[in-house]
Structure 1
Amino acid sequence: MEENDAGADPWLAADKFYHVIMCFSITLLFYVFSFLTSHPFLRRHSISIGSVVSLLAGAAKEAADHLGYFRSSGASFKDAVADIIGVIIASFALSLF
């Protein structure tokens, strides 16, 4: 049974790439929003804010998949890992600059 699950949700699929790119983009977007504000606290923690918002968006998407709001095969651990990878890449890139 696990072989069928692995075949239905492979690690290297376009869906995982979309999860990485989306969470990467959300992290960058909310980093910019919080960095451009006039509040020093938000500017100081802008990478963390972008990361948390992106992870919350990914978790909300997986919850909606689990509840059947989208036409998908349901919530996926591999999708959640792809979300985390996108956030890590964005956070690392932002911390370098």
Structure 2
Amino acid sequence: MEWGDEWLAADKLQHVLACLLIALAAAALAGRSALPSIRRRAALLGWAASLAAGAAKEVADEAGFFGSSGASPKDAAADLLGAALAALSLALVRRLRRPRRDGGKARDAEDRDVISMI
């Protein structure tokens, strides 16, 4: 296991971006599923796919498949950050797409308490 790597190294940005993109792509694919249960859990499935890919990369690093000096807890933290950013992005998009309960007619507190005589 590698402990001496830097927090702000270029590979950390690569880990964040890779996990972010994997999560978004997997969520997009799950969102197009014919099964409603998969579509409802698209963000969760994207998040899980991203973390699985990050964990697999760290296992491969530790096994020496990529010629690195081993797995890094800092790389794993960068993977978690990328997955979290994707989850946040998906939650924001979902909230923005949600239809308004009042049919798109915004009313302030004063309008709700007034009875129209017309």
TM-score (norm 1): 0.91
User: Does the alignment pair 1:47 with 2:46?
Assistant: no
Q: How many residues align?
A: 91
1:45-84 equivalences under 5 Å are: 45-84=41-80
* Structure with greater helix share of residues: 1
**Superposition deviation, residue 51 in structure 1:** 0.3
| 1:19 maps onto 2:15 in alignment | yes
Counterpart CA distance in 1 for 2:68 and 2:14 is 14
Q: Which amino acid aligns with 2:74?
A: K
CA RMSD of aligned residues (A): 0.7
Q: Which residue number corresponds to residue 89 of structure 1?
A: 85
Shift in Å at residue 72 of structure 1? 1.1
Q: Give the unaligned 5+ runs of structure 1.
A: none
Larger radius of gyration: 2
TM-score by length of 2: 0.75
The one-letter amino acid paired with 2:42 is: S
**One-letter identity of the residue aligned with 2:69:** S
Distance (Å, rounded) in 2 between the aligned partners of 1:37 and 1:45:
10
Give me the whole-angstrom Cα distance separating, in 1, the residues matched to 2:11 and 2:74: 10
**For 1:82 and 1:64, how far apart are their aligned partners in 2?**
16
Note the C-alpha offset of 1:73: 1.6
Q: Distance in 2 between matches of 1:86 and 1:57?
A: 12
Q: Give 1:14 deviation, angstroms.
A: 0.3
> What are the ranges of 5 or more consecutive residues in structure 2 without an aligned counterpart?
94-118
SS at match of 2:6: coil
